[in-house]
């Protein structure tokens, strides 16, 4: 199996599990953070890239006036289907789109936002160039990326537990992709290669992830992300075994009752 290829596959039951478990676990607080930043710039037309199941889209819909046009895109149509199914009544234009080949004319948007998506782009400078192309002069590109996995406790525990369960070929999706693009110098270089010439502003934001038990993050990561594709490739019983082992590791680390762990991300802002 080409693990790097399956890192971008959000299909089957993953979108629903992702939205049910992972969104409240780690995404909602950062979605509110991004939406607040977007609202402070008073944009007239916003493009969201890699919208997933729409947690940021919903936050934008609440934070922005109805006069602000919101266009939400994602590479995976099943994720957009889920996003539309749980969206509110606020008008949003939903479009399936590849971040490296956006289906929009130059200069259409005065703000482009992307939550935890740039790590998945195979050619990051090309994706950055596309974001810059569709921005109006002086427009803002706002995105966030997870910090290194050691600063994100639940993901770190899951990765270590899976390494112990599958030592011959440890499933490394979380460290490789979601937490694999956090170095400031690399991000700055890719932005320059993408045509941005202004200085990027970085802000590190720490938060806490809360769950009713260790079972919740075990299901969230093992079954609600593309890590599932890597685990299921091991064998027919691998997913249930992995979920059980990660549940035990979470309980051992954080206790049997309600748990919480550190999460940390970098917010990046740059003008076109």
Contacts by 248-254 with C-beta closer than 8 Å and gap 24+?
248/161, 248/214, 249/157, 249/158, 249/160, 249/161, 249/214, 249/218, 250/154, 250/157, 250/158, 250/213, 250/214, 250/215, 250/217, 250/218, 251/213, 251/214, 253/153, 253/157, 253/214, 254/214
pLDDT digits over 123-166, tens only? 999 999 999 999 999 999 999 999 999 999 999 999 999 999 99
Query: At residue 177, does pLDDT exceed 80?
Result: yes
Q: How far apart, in whole angstroms, are the C-alpha atoms of residue 50 and residue 56?
A: 10
- How much of the chain is helix, strand and coil, in % rounded to 5? 45, 20, 30
Q: How far is CA 199 from CA 47, 106, 185, 196, in A?
A: 21, 22, 12, 8
Quote the mean pLDDT of the chain.
94
Check which CATH number belongs to the domain holding 104 and give it: 3.40.50.150
| Count: domains in the chain | 1
Of the candidates 153, 259, 262, the one whose C-alpha atom is nearest the C-alpha of residue 206 is: 262
pLDDT digits over 4-39, tens only? 555 455 657 778 888 999 999 999 999 999 999 999
- CA atoms within 13 Å, Cβ hemisphere of 76: 24
Query: At residue 81, does pLDDT exceed 80?
Result: yes
Edge-first strand order for the sheet with 259-271 is 93-96, 69-74, 45-49, 109-115, 135-146, 259-271, 201-211
Residue 75 structural domain: 3-271
* Neighbour-count burial for 57-67, b at 16+ CB within 10 Å, e otherwise: bbbbbebbeee
The model's pTM: 0.94
């Amino acid at each position: 199996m080409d693990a790097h290829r399956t890192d971008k596959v959000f299909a089957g039951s993953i979108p629903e599990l992702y939205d049910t478990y992972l969104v409240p676990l780690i995404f909602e607080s950062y979605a509110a953070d991004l939406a607040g930043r977007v609202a402070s710039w008073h944009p007239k037309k916003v493009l969201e890239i890699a919208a997933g199941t729409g947690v940021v889209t919903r936050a934008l819909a609440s934070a922005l006036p109805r006069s602000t046009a919101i266009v939400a895109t994602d590479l995976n149509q099943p994720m957009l289907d889920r996003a539309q199914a749980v969206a509110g009544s606020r008008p949003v234009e939903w479009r399936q789109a590849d971040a490296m080949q956006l289906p929009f004319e130059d200069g259409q948007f005065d703000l482009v936002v992307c939550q935890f998506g740039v790590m998945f782009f195979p050619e990051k400078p090309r994706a950055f160039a596309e974001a810059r192309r569709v921005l109006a002069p002086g427009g803002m590109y706002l995105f966030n990326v997870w910090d290194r996995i050691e600063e994100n406790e639940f993901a770190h525990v899951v990765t270590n537990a899976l390494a112990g369960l599958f030592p011959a070929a440890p499933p490394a999706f979380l460290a490789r992709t979601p937490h694999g693009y956090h170095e400031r110098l690399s991000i700055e270089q890719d932005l320059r290669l993408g045509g941005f010439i202004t200085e990027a502003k970085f802000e590190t934001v720490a938060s806490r992830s809360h769950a009713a038990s260790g079972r919740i993050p075990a299901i969230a990561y093992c079954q609600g992300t593309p890590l599932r594709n890597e685990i299921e490739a091991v064998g027919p019983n691998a997913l249930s075994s992995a979920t059980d082992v990660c549940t035990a590791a979470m309980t051992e680390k954080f206790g049997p009752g309600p748990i919480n762990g550190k999460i940390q991300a970098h917010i990046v802002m740059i003008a076109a």
